[in-house]
Structure 1
Amino acid sequence: MNKTKILFPLMFLAMFLWGTSWPSAKILVEYAPPYIISFWRLFFVSISALFIVLVLRLSFKIDKKSIFFVMLTGLCNAIYSLFHFAGLEFGFAGLGGVLVTTSIPILSFILMQFLRYKEAKRRGIIIKKPPMNQIFGLCLGVLSGALLLNLTNFTELFSRANIFFLLAAITWVTLSMFSKNVKSHPLLLNFYVSLFSLLFFSPILFFDGVFFIFEADFRFFMAMFLVAFLSTAIGTGIYYYGIKILGVVKTNAFNLLVPPSALIMSFFMLNEIPSISTVFGTVLALFAIYFINIYKKKEK
């Protein structure tokens, strides 16, 4: 009981850190191109993840069959990082934080339904249609996407920021599918994925301007510290601990705090004022995620 009481404020802190990482990442792309920032972020994340593994004294052993999927997950993580920072170079941190974090569970649901249908068709069996709460949530998700992407403005709809943010969400969904095949402690998986992602980015070392970091100011390192250590190492560590104590369903419910945190912190850190369509889209997206991923599980 005491663990639960302590964990709830910690979960709020973790989601707040995740939300704050978006405007912090926006600050980072002011210093260098997305591919260089991606390399240094993965470098510091790998060090942070290694530190946690050593502190917790986790075994570095991993199932041989899982190595291939760890490499694929690492590749997707590297691509996600590139799309993530590329979107922030051209778009707003608040909108990106909302669009990506709300698109991932909705796109995951659509992909899983598609795979279920394909498998059922291959086996020649009939599957039940999704429950009404999930269908309702999917409709809300489509409507929220229309508001967040601003479908009334075709110039903004096909902007580079929106395209990169959507590609980032799709890449993360693919990453999740690969990571499910890895049999390992989540924190150890986080280290190996970060390490492989860093290796994929290693050719960046031969690019011009990659060592600008040695001349970067305090503002850069504070933003990197928040993105790489506080958000990824501390925030993700609390998240995995929450799964262990509260379970997957209750822990994932806290993810609904990330989009509003991203909007609020983008306002305070970058003076970004969200549009009315972004605010309404955020609210609808949160309800969509609730009805798709939480409501039915809660009933069970």
Structure 2
Amino acid sequence: MTTDNRLFFWMTLAMLGWGASWPIAKILSSYITEHELVTYRYVLTTFTMLPILYWMKLSFKISLKNLALSIITGVFLIFYTKLFFLGTKYGEAGLAGALVTTLMPIIVYILMLFSRQKKPQTKDWLALVLGVIGVFTMIKVWTFETSQIFNVSNVYLLWAALCWAVMSISASYAKDTHPVVLSFYIYLFATLIDWLVFFKPTSGSIFAMDQTFWAGFVFLAIGSTTFATTVYFLGIQKLGSNKGSVFTFLVPFFAIGLSVVLLGESLQLTTLIGVLMTIVSLMILNNVNLDFWKNKLYKN
């Protein structure tokens, strides 16, 4: 296996980890509350980031500005995680994963338009319309009454996507700090703030939980967070953000597929069509060049 193929394999595995977080969160929702999930998940993630930082020989040094940004981002991460958890608890995990992961970058782009960091062209407006139609297709909006469009699960997922978008923009202002180091501080502050302000242990000791809980919990904290985030950032360094970001388009498909396998959810054609429409929209908005990927396929 060549170096490039090895990198593609690990990047795909990282996206599998991100996609798996949705059905796993659905499983964990029957064991613990959203308040417990954040503290338990990120305390384990924070500790498992330490050997990663040591292995990568990264310094813990961070400027006061970036430290403040990591605190702000950590707060948004708390709310995102709780909303994502509740969205999967009260709705279908596959649809939730597809909806949020495709909606997040669209919201980021729209927020950048309002802040005038982007000057949209005609193709961008058309892409946004296509993205919105894709989202509506995923939730089969034509079958809803007005009240159903804003049901509890959809509201949670919409706010989750918005929180992640704001969190992404906030983190983007942190300059001169390695993204893995920044992630460590974000997880650390998310843990501390949630534990001090929101934490309410109402489900009993997690050490009394069964093997299903522990398998899902450990994978969510380490596989879907520590491992996937680290591999993604390393991949971005090697491939560049434009090429590396293409891998994120795999996440909604993994979320849907794993929800079918792990939870027995039905595979909805409208969900797949909606995902494809939003992915095309995102590729247009981000000016993704597929020539590199075509060359790779032909070489292999």
Compute the TM-score of the two structures, normalised by the length of structure 2.
0.90
The answer as to whether partners of 2:98 and 2:275 remain within 8 angstroms in 1 is yes
For residues 44 and 65 of structure 2, the distance between their equivalents in structure 1, rounded to whole angstroms, comes to: 27
Any stretches of 5+ residues in structure 1 without a counterpart?
120-126
The answer as to whether partners of 1:249 and 1:298 remain within 8 angstroms in 2 is no
Which residue does the alignment assign to 2:10? 10
Which residue does the alignment assign to 1:90? 90
RMSD across aligned C-alpha pairs, in angstroms?
A: 2.1
| Structure 1 pair 14–294 and aligned structure 2 pair: CA distance change class (3 A) | farther
For residues 153 and 238 of structure 2, the distance between their equivalents in structure 1, rounded to whole angstroms, comes to: 38
The sequence identity of aligned pairs, in percent, is 33
Which residue does the alignment assign to 2:224? 231
Which residue does the alignment assign to 1:122? none
| Structure 1 pair 206–68 and aligned structure 2 pair: CA distance change class (3 A) | closer
Q: Deviations over 1:154-174 (max 9, x none)?
A: 343111111111101100111
Q: 2:128 aligned to 134, 138, 150, which one?
A: 138
The answer as to whether partners of 1:87 and 1:162 remain within 8 angstroms in 2 is yes
3-state secondary structure, aligned to 2:259: helix
Q: Deviations over 1:43-63 (max 9, x none)?
A: 211122223113323111101
Any stretches of 5+ residues in structure 2 without a counterpart?
293-300
Q: Which one-letter code corresponds to 2:153 in the other structure? A: A
Which residue does the alignment assign to 2:155? 163
Compute the TM-score of the two structures, normalised by the length of structure 1.
0.90
The answer as to whether partners of 1:19 and 1:262 remain within 8 angstroms in 2 is yes
Q: CA deviation at 1:193?
A: 0.2
Q: Does 1:283 align with 2:283?
A: no
Q: CA deviation at 1:66?
A: 1.6
For residues 206 and 261 of structure 1, the distance between their equivalents in structure 2, rounded to whole angstroms, comes to: 31
Which residue does the alignment assign to 1:39? 39
The answer as to whether partners of 1:14 and 1:238 remain within 8 angstroms in 2 is yes
Show the 5 A alignment for 1:1-300: 2-116=2-116, 130-152=120-142, 153-154=144-145, 155-183=147-175, 184-203=177-196, 207-209=200-202, 211-295=204-288
Q: Deviations over 1:116-147 (max 9, x none)?
A: 1xx8xxxxxxx9x5234322321110101211
Counting matched residue pairs gives 289
The answer as to whether partners of 1:76 and 1:174 remain within 8 angstroms in 2 is yes
Q: Deviations over 1:221-245 (max 9, x none)?
A: 1111211111111111111111111
Q: Deviations over 1:225-270 (max 9, x none)?
A: 2111111111111111111111000000111111111100100000
For residues 230 and 13 of structure 2, the distance between their equivalents in structure 1, rounded to whole angstroms, comes to: 11
